[in-house]
Amino acid sequence: MLSIITLGDPLLAKTSSLVPDFDDGIRRLAAQMFEAMGTKGVGLAAVQVGAAVRLFITKAPRDVPRVFINPDILVTSLEEEPLEEGCLSVPGLYTEVVRPASVRVQAWNEKGRPFTLTAEGILARVIQHELDHLNGVLFIDRLDAKKRKRLLVSYDEKMRF
């Protein structure tokens, strides 16, 4: 089973590179990521299991499992909304983040087929959170500096014990 890296690992700040081929290795990686995520999360980026390539998976409530390879957000709504986010790489820390309420994304699936998808609600949120991972950005980086610092102090205290 692949293990998930956590805050402090420098790989989380790295920009992931494009997936060059839709081969068996990529399909295996996606399958192993679903296994690593289990029922603990609603999304996971490849970099979180140590593979800094532009691939993430989602399994939002009441949605099918999805694989996004080399994704791009084409359009974001002007409307923004606060939603609570967490991250398997920052265990135990949950906080509201404000982001666009809906997005239109283009990507390739694990079979190498291109698709576009308009998402709202939790799926839109997961897509934006995971795409951030591919650019080395964590959800806590989206907070204002003061709130981020306060949360990180309590996170550090919790992780120490």
Instruction: Provide the binding-site residues for Ni ion, judged by CB under 5 A.
Output: 87
> How far is 42 from 39, CA to CA, in rounded Å?
8
Residue whose structure tokens are 């205290």: 157
> How far is 36 from 31, CA to CA, in rounded Å?
9
Residue (42 or 107) nearer to Ni ion, CB = 42
Dig out the tokens for 21 from the structure.
């081929």
Q: Please state, as a whole number, how many other Cβ atoms lie within 10 Å of the Cβ of residue 153.
A: 10
Amino acid 77 reads: S
Q: How far is the CB of 133 from Ni ion (least distance, A)?
A: 6
Residue (27 or 142) nearer to Ni ion, CB = 142
Residue (69 or 87) nearer to Ni ion, CB = 87
Residue (45 or 107) nearer to Ni ion, CB = 45
Q: How far is the CB of 113 from Ni ion (least distance, A)?
A: 25
Q: How far is the CB of 48 from Ni ion (least distance, A)?
A: 7
| 37 three-state secondary structure | helix
Q: Choosing from 85, 120, 130, 157, which is the catalytic residue?
A: 130
Kindly state the DSSP code that residue 132 receives in the 8-state scheme: H
Q: Is 130 a catalytic residue?
A: yes
Residue number with the shortest CB distance to Ni ion?
87
Strands 43-45 and 55-58, by their bridges, are antiparallel
Which residues are the active-site residues? 130
